[in-house]
A and B are shown apart, each in its own frame.
Chain A
Amino acid sequence: MLITCPYCGARDAHEFTYLGDAELIDRPDPAGPEAEAAFHAHVYLRDNPAGPHRELWYHGSGCRQWLTVTRDTRTHAIASVVAAARPEVAR
C-alpha cells in the first residue's frame, strides 16, 4: 500500500505507523461539562466504518509528519493525504 506523503511522495505503508480514526485530533475540553463522557467517547468509541475512513498515520521512517489519510476500508483505495495539523496553524 502506497501512501503519498505530501512531503516525501509515494511511500510504502510500512514506513508509517497507524494510529486510528482521525477524530483523535479533536481532544475534548477537559474542563467541559461532560468531560468524562466526552473523553470516554474520544478514547474508546469509534465509527469504524466500512467505506471512507479518515485516519491518522505517522511517517516515522520518513519526514515524521502526522498525516490524515482518507482511505476506503473496503478497497484500501486512498482518496487523500494531508498533514494532520489543523491548516490554520500548520507551518
Chain B
Amino acid sequence: MSAPGALGHFGEFGGRFVPEALMPACLELESAFIDAWGDPEFTAQYRTVLREFAGRPTPVTPLRRLSAQLGIELFAKREDLAHTGSHKINNVIGQTLLTKRMGKQRVIAETGAGQHGVATATACAQMGLECTVFMGEIDTERQALNVFRMELLGATVVPVTSGSRTLKDAVNEAMREWVTCVEDTHYCLGSVMGPHPFPWMVREMQSIIGHEALQQMDDLGASIPDFVVACVGGGSNAAGIFSGFANTSARLVGVEAAGGSAVGKGSPGVLHGMRSLLMQDEFGQIEEAYSISAGLDYPGIGPEHAHLADIGRAEYYAIGDDDVIGALEVLSLSEGIIPALETAHAVAWILKEAGREIPLGSRVLLNLSGRGDKDVAQVREILRGQQ
C-alpha cells in the first residue's frame, strides 16, 4: 500500500475536508510526519518504545485445534498481547512520539468503547503528556471502568452530550476542541480515518503488524497465507496487517459489523474530514451505527479501505451480532484465547466461510486485534439473557 500523495487521496477517497482553522494543523502534521517517518532516529525510537514498553513483536500463534476442526490452516497475529490489550497502542505510541517532536505538550483523542482512549492515556502517561479524551456520554456510562482506567492514567475524560452521544459525536467534539487549541495540542485520532495525513499516518504506524506477521509466517514455515482476515471499524488493525500482504497473492478480507457496515450498506460521502463510504440516509444525514461491539460502532470506514474495496484488492463482508458471541465462545474453548468482540467478527467470518468462501486446506491469517477482557461482563449478560 503506497503513500496517498499531497492531497491524501486514495483513488477517489480520502482528502482533507476540514475547516480552514484546522488546515494549517493538518499541513503541519503532514510535514512533521513525513519528516519523522523518514528519520531513522525517529523510527528507531518508535520501534524501541514498542519493544520495551508495548511488548512487540507480538507472536503469530498457530491455532491448531481450530484448524483441525475447520479443515484449514489457521494462524493468529496476537495483537491482544500488546500493552493495553489491542493494536491501538501501536498508533498511539507513534503519534505521541510525534507530538513531542512537534513540541506540543497536550494530546486529545476520541474514544468509543475506550480502547483507544486507554491506549492514548497510557502513552501520554508514559511520555509525560497532558491528555484529554472525548467520549460519548452513553459510552462513558456503558464503559465506566474504562473511564476510570483513563483517569487512573491521568487523563481527563470529557463526556460528549451532543448528537447520538457515541463515538461519531466524540470525533466531532474532539475536532471542535482541536480548533481551539491546535497551537499546543495534537489530536491523536484512533483509526485510519479523518483528514489527511491521518488515514495514511495511522496505517503506517499500524503496518508493523503486517510486516512482523509476514516474517513470522515465514519463520513458522507457513509463508504467504491464502487469506488475511481482520475486523474493520475505522479499519486500522486491518490496514496494519494488510500492509504486510498487499503485495502478495493473499486475499485481503475485512469484516465489518452488519450494523456498522460502511462498505456493505454505505455510499460515498464526506465526514470527519474524509471522503469515504458512509452509512447515510437519502438526504446525506449520517446514520448511527449499531453493533454489539463498541469498537465497530462507526458509520464510516477509512478511505483507503473504500479504495481497496473499489479496486477489488480487498473484500469486505459483514457479520451480524448473532454470530459474534458464538465465535467468541469457539475461539475461547478451542484455543484458550478470549477475543475482543470486535475481533470475534473476523473469527465469525472464518467459522462461517471455512469450506465455502475459504476452500478447505487454505492457509488463513487472522488478525487477533484485541483481547476480550473488556467484553466479558457484556457477554455474560447476553448469554444469561439467552437462557
User: Are A and B bound to each other?
Assistant: no
Give residues in B with beta carbon < 8 Å to A.
none
